[in-house]
Chain A
């Protein structure tokens, strides 16, 4: 029983990381209808920023955390302005290909600058584990789950109650009509990318704590998994990203623990296929769905 609970917690930890990255995917897709494949690589940018700031410039950790978020936001907004904005009115396949291109560009720049040799992530957390009876939960796990859940709630409140959130929903429903109503579409989209990439920045911190090895392709796999999580939960829907992430994390962990570590991806993709067969818009998707 204790073993099962421990495995559940392992799954929740992985799932919370997927969920956090999936939130960024879902935000951007909900507003611009663009699958931002470079999202996972923003994670990598954040991780290398921490490596450079701490191991080379020796800045204090708190300042580094703020700078990591700023750099991620900067990259996100810049990528949107340079690569996606000029293609806003072209066929969707063009922006999709561009997104893949941006992802490769970021990975190869990192390869050139930092070499493929993995570097250790310089921030570590050494707090005692949380004890509940005989169950002990590591501090990084607790932190990751709490931060992800809190961010999802804050994001949901932001989108549904604030003026900026209202503007986002309007842009998502109808681009041109929103413009006619006096909403600054460009700023709204930039804000969306900024928030999405800030989430990726926080994701890079939590990911780095859990898996402290930084390489140029660091973002590729979690990016892909988070994308699947977003689709599974219903892309464009904030609680859906959280749900999708957690389901994936749990499925992976329990498959590894009780069936086979080689089958974990097969089970996860299997779940995705089954869900999409019966509910093409994802678990929380509706026929006429409310986007972000």
Chain B
């Protein structure tokens, strides 16, 4: 009993200090709460975002920060779980007293966190969640990446620009990302007068696609759209070669990690995909970003979410330069953004989505990415 009383007294003291402390020292820094997937199977994306954000913030602080105030990013790991994301959000807002949230990375986590952020009205910006409804009816939630329907539309336009008229689609019926891209692509293709000669689907987790590819081959398309992630797309390209299907392949941003997933790199030369950024982009801002990234981390920013993460930090801190840290003022400042960023010019539409360009990328014989062109909205 006695022990218990002492323990609770100590707890009360510790918690009390914890509650008072943040408010006392929060004056001369702007605190940003970073929620990212830093461990687990999707850590690759989360680490990419974190590296981009950290790079921009350290550059900004060297130049004197925001109106003389230093910017501090407090990172929390959501492990790719919506639950952990919400816990991280509560901790950052209540214990650390952050002024804005940067994150989360995976769509599922961001959806959950955005709900809480919208309720509080705290400004939040994600660098990588592409699902449409994340910013719907949430005036304080923004993003710096483009959306799934947007890139599907750009891909259909690119197909037409290339003079290809007969297309086929193979998509994953058990994956929202894949289905969303497929639907948007097919409707835009129909609007542009492209002929969709075959539509095949596979179940989630399938590894054998030869049956569907044989049907696709039978319809003799000129290009096949594969709204898949790199690992599955690598399997599909290998099996397409096995059954002798030699056409052009198109993919969305999920393809960006295919190079590490495929053994026979030569198969990649027929693949073109849309991405949020290319390390070969020719704007001055992009070039200096790639150089600074290499200097800081000794590697290329090969995952494009490093670039959108950098841009998210840029957009957020520019909004703070208006002088206010009131939630509503910062959100209004973000909405008024018109900035040249690493991944292109950024302005926001009524739905808080950026209006920006897609980077069309293909591969050479060794599997190196080759930047083709910007596809403008």
Bound-complex Cα distance A2 to B210 (A): 15
Q: Are B207 and A221 in contact (CB under 8 A)?
A: yes
- Interface residue stretch chosen among B133-141, B146-154, B177-185, B237-245: B237-245
B200-A213 in contact (CB<8A)? no
| Chain B residue contacts of A280, Cβ below 8 A | none
Contacts of A90 in B (CB 8 A): none
Complex interface: chain B residues within 8 A of A117 (CB): 41, 44, 260
Which residues in chain A, 5-49, are within 8 Å of chain B measured between CB atoms? Answer: 6-7, 10-11, 13-14
A6 near B206: Cβ-Cβ < 8 Å: no
Closest Cβ–Cβ distance, residue B209 to chain A (whole Å):
9
CA of A115 to CA of B234, assembled, Å? 19
Tell whether A210 is near chain B: CB-to-CB under 8 Å. yes
**Nearest Cβ on chain B to A170's Cβ, whole angstroms:** 40
Query: Does B261 touch A at the CB level, under 8 Å?
Result: yes
B234 engages A6 (CB within 8 Å) = no
- A266 to chain B: closest CB distance in Å? 10
| B206 CB contacts on chain A under 8 angstroms | 261
Q: Which residues of A contact B235 (CB under 8 A)?
A: 211-213
With both chains docked as a complex, state the minimum distance between the C-beta of A121 and any C-beta of chain B, in angstroms: 6
* A116 lies within 8 A of chain B by Cβ: yes
The proximity string for B residues 163-198 relative to A, scoring 1 for CB distances below 8 Å and 0 otherwise, is 000000000010000000000000000000000000
Footprint of A on B, CB under 8 Å?
Answer: 40-41, 44, 173, 200-203, 205-208, 210-212, 214-215, 218, 231-232, 234-235, 238-239, 242-244, 260-264
Contact B242 A120 (CB under 8 A): no
Which segment, of A98-106, A134-142, A176-184, faces chain B?
A: A134-142
User: Which of A7, A140, A221, A256 is within 8 Å of B242, CB to CB?
Assistant: A140
Chain A contacts of B202 at CB under 8 A? Answer: 261
> 8 Å CB contacts to B: which residues of A179-226?
210-213, 215, 221
Distance, CA A6 to CA B201, complexed state (A): 18
Beta-carbon contact of B260 and A221 below 8 Å: no
Q: Is A212 a contact partner of B262 (Cβ separation < 8 A)?
A: yes
Interface contact A124-B264, CB-CB below 8 Å: yes
B198 to chain A, nearest CB (A): 12
14 extra interface residue pairs, beta carbon distance < 8 Å, beyond A6-B218, A129-B244: A3-B218, A10-B208, A11-B211, A14-B208, A14-B210, A117-B44, A120-B262, A124-B264, A136-B244, A141-B242, A211-B207, A261-B203, A261-B212, A262-B203
A221-B205, A256-B211 known; A122-B263 Cβ under 8 A? yes
Closest to B173 in A: A262
Which chain B residue lies CB-closest to A264? B203
CA distance A117 to B231 in the complex (A): 9
Specify the chain B residue showing the minimal Cβ separation from A128.
Answer: B244
Expressed in whole angstroms, the minimum distance between the Cβ of A131 and any Cβ of chain B is 10
* CB <8 Å contact, B215 and A3: yes
A270 at the interface (CB under 8 A from B): no
Judge whether B243 and A6 touch: CB under 8 Å. yes
Q: Is A83 part of the binding interface, using a Cβ–Cβ cutoff of 8 Å?
A: no
Most buried by B among A119, A120, A126: A120
B242 touches A210 (CB 8 A): yes
A172 within 8 A of partner (CB): no
Interchain nearest-CB distance for A13 vs B (Å): 7
Q: Which residues of B contact A97 (CB under 8 A)?
A: none
A210 to B234, CA, bound (A): 11
Whether B173 contacts A10 by the Cβ 8 Å rule is no
A10 to B211, CA, bound (A): 6
How distant is the Cα of A118 from the Cα of B258 in the complex, in angstroms? Answer: 11
> With contacts A117-B41, A213-B261, A262-B173 known, is A7 near B243, CB below 8 A?
no
Using known A-B contacts A212-B235, A213-B207, A261-B212, determine if residue A138 contacts B264 with beta carbons closer than 8 Å.
no
* A257 vs B209: C-alpha distance when bound (angstroms): 10
Segment 232-255 of A: residues with Cβ below 8 Å from B: 252-253
Known: A138-B243, A256-B211. A124 touches B203 (CB 8 A): no
Most chain-B Cβ atoms within 10 A of its Cβ — which of A3, A126, A252, A261?
Answer: A261
User: Which residues of B have CB within 8 Å of A124?
Assistant: 238, 263-264
Closest to A115 in B: B41
Residues in A whose Cβ lies below 8 Å from that of B203: 261-262, 264-265
> Would you call B231 and A118 a contact (CB within 8 A)?
yes
- What are 19 A-B pairs with beta-carbon distances under 8 A? A3-B218, A7-B214, A10-B210, A10-B214, A117-B41, A117-B44, A120-B260, A120-B261, A121-B263, A123-B263, A138-B243, A141-B242, A211-B239, A213-B231, A213-B234, A253-B210, A256-B212, A261-B201, A261-B206
